[in-house]
Structure 1
Amino acid sequence: MRQIGLGDLAHLIGTLLRDPLLGDLWVEAEVSAFSASPAGHWYITLKEGDITMRANCWKGVNQRLKRPTVGAIVQVHGRVDFYGARGEVQLIVDDIRDVGVGFAQAELERLMTQYAAMAKHRPLPAIPQRIGVVTSRTGAAYQDVLTTLTQRYPCVEVLLAHSPVQGPDAPTGIEAALEALYTEPLDIILVVRGGGSIEDLAAFNNEIVARAMLRSPIPIISGVGHETDTTLADMVADVRAATPTAAAVKATPSRAELLQHLGNLRYTIDYHIANRCAEADMRLDDSAARLRRAAPAQRIAGYQQNLNYVNQKLNQAMQQRLTMMQAHVDRVSDRLTALDPQAVLARGYAIVRDSAGNIIRSTQASHPQQTIHIQLADGQIDATVTSTQ
């Protein structure tokens, strides 16, 4: 039995694969994965049934070619090569032609359209207290989520529901993990997995997982694969994130942002309080000024001054009125005095009456031998008329 080293074996395989028949081939297959390196090279995974093969298209060649899309059926031209460092047979591609969309991709697109219409797109809670995570406990996705949550919002409680995220048992495992979380008092659920080929993400394109996510009583964020990957789980999630890290970011507020927001709120509150206090001080000063201008003591003093003035005027008017009335009384008194019979008698006049007391005003009212009474100022004289003239 011949014994050779591994390097010699790789060289032997490479030599055998340099057959002219394998140096000029057209191969038809479905593109199941695609990536471009920073240098510009294309790395393609071709698939037919359960068979996959890597294909490389270098930058100097692909600049004149149309970039293939995942799920498309293509014809690639090139040669078979053996990559000894990984022990892989691969195609070195120099031409790519579109043939159409593969059956699997067409069916997946149909399901995505169907299930996208069922998505609820519920709003996420602003301040979650408990977050559930569906993923593998040994995967990098779970560690990425924990690291991001610790940095952004360390006070949140995380509950992991472990499930395989790849392989034939993954769809039912993810379903069981989701159902277990539905019984817990949670605010959000993250369904996450790291990147991979379309075959690696197949569980998240399964209807079992999609229907289980639609039964969720709380919002779900999906973070499956890389930014370029879109799965059926993304279509039914309330919010889609490009990666597991992005899902953790969407689920929680940033501690720094919260502190900044609280600082802004404090500044706003202080600003409004200061403004309100300044406005209150201005109103108080204005009210005090008006109170001073309209103070009761000053108003009473004003009223008292007016009252004194009116009282003085009233006294003057009353005094004038009394003087005028006294002068009138004096004039009337003088007139009455002047007309008083006693006063007339005091000036030497007399009143003559007959025996009946009637005043004799004319000689014709008298006759001889008539008894008369003569009233003087100081008394009365009785006499008899001897003659009249």
Structure 2
Amino acid sequence: MNTQPGQTTQNAFSPSALNQILKKHLNEQFGSFWLTGEIFELYQSPAGHKYFTLKDSQSGIKCVMFKQKQNTPLAKGSQVIILGNLSLYTPKGDLQVNVLRIMDAGKGDLAQQFMLLKQKLQQAGLFEQKNKQQLPSMIGSLAIVTSPKGAALQDILNIIKSQNPLIEITLYPTPVQGEDAAPKINHALRVADEANHDAILLTRGGGSKEDLWTFNDEFLAHQIAQLETPVISAVGHETDESISDLVADVTCITPSAAAQLISGDFRQSKHLLTQQKQLLSLLVQDKLRLFQQQVDSRGHAIEKRHPSNLLKQQEAALGTAEQKLNNSFSSKWLALKNNYQHLHTALINNEPDLIIQHQRLKQFRQQLSNNIKSQLSDSHQALQLSINDLNHQNPLNVLARGFSITSRKQDNKVITDISQVKDGDEVVTQLKSGRISAKIFERLEK
């Protein structure tokens, strides 16, 4: 049968085992705690560790503060407040307090309140990074909650004005120290939050712990955590720590550092915007040139299909036909003339009977005249037919007689059959006096 250690003579504890169990139990049962008393029997080892007894009027307890924890000068008989945890020095079985932090008792009230509030809010999750908001990449509207009389405000305004004058700043004045400061700061934060700024800067310059105590208000901490607008806290100098810094979405070590952060890299952003503007201008110009070329191309195509250009082409064809007709007539006339000259020459050379030849010549002349007249008449009729045919084919003459030409608007193709269009198509009708645009609502076949 198994028994627990220390329950029988066979499994008795050793001093080392018992001390280890006690040390583990103390670590599990006790967390860190605050302890106050008077330093007694102070000793510092060559390694720099400090050993002392902390006592009151009735009891004392051994304490050890290792060198790496805090390099604070200690004096025998001084009243101190320490933050520590219980431990057991196992080689000797001595109970002692491992000191984590130590401070003069004269400053202990505020410091103890600060640590207690810090632990409380930390346990409530107000310091967790996952609950903090991100600042926008560029801040255009800034609310500043601070005293209008403080030097910190002027430093902030000067820095932002010199580095990013585009930021619109609204001041929400409030006292930043004193008993009534915290409620007024809360009110100013709520008003600023309702104004939908990009960010809120809560700030003040340096001062004593008492001057900065306003920013360690518990209600103020919850107020900051509940705001919809990201909050930047910059309270005091680099060494100062406040609850508002821990709760805020972003913390800066000084008001000037906060102004630098808020201003951002304005000059680089301005240069980048200038480059983008130039690039956009070039792209727009290229697009305009492309659109202009398309307009010119389509305008040229429309001009080629215009009825006036078709008429010019037909007029040119008519001129060519007329020229061919004239050339044909001239060629035939020259052939008849040459034949006449040849016959006349043969008549003279052969010296025929003049009377007979004269009669034959007269007949020939009459026949030639008749042929010429016939040829002229035929040519004139052919020319007149060609002219009439061209006039009939001339679209303007057709339009003048009350007819019209209808083409599809999408490709300017002349419509000669009802199958070429469907309901909803847009058409253009050319009349003598102008054009009419219409849409096909119904087709009626024969």
Fold match (TM-score > 0.5): no
What TM-score bracket applies, with the shorter chain setting the length?
0.3 to 0.5
Highest relative contact order (Cα 8 Å, sep 6+), 1 or 2? 1
Structure 2 length normalisation: TM-score? 0.39
The structure with the largest strand share of the pair is: 1
The structure with the largest helix share of the pair is: 2
Query: Larger C-alpha radius of gyration, 1 or 2?
Result: 1
Structure 1 length normalisation: TM-score? 0.43
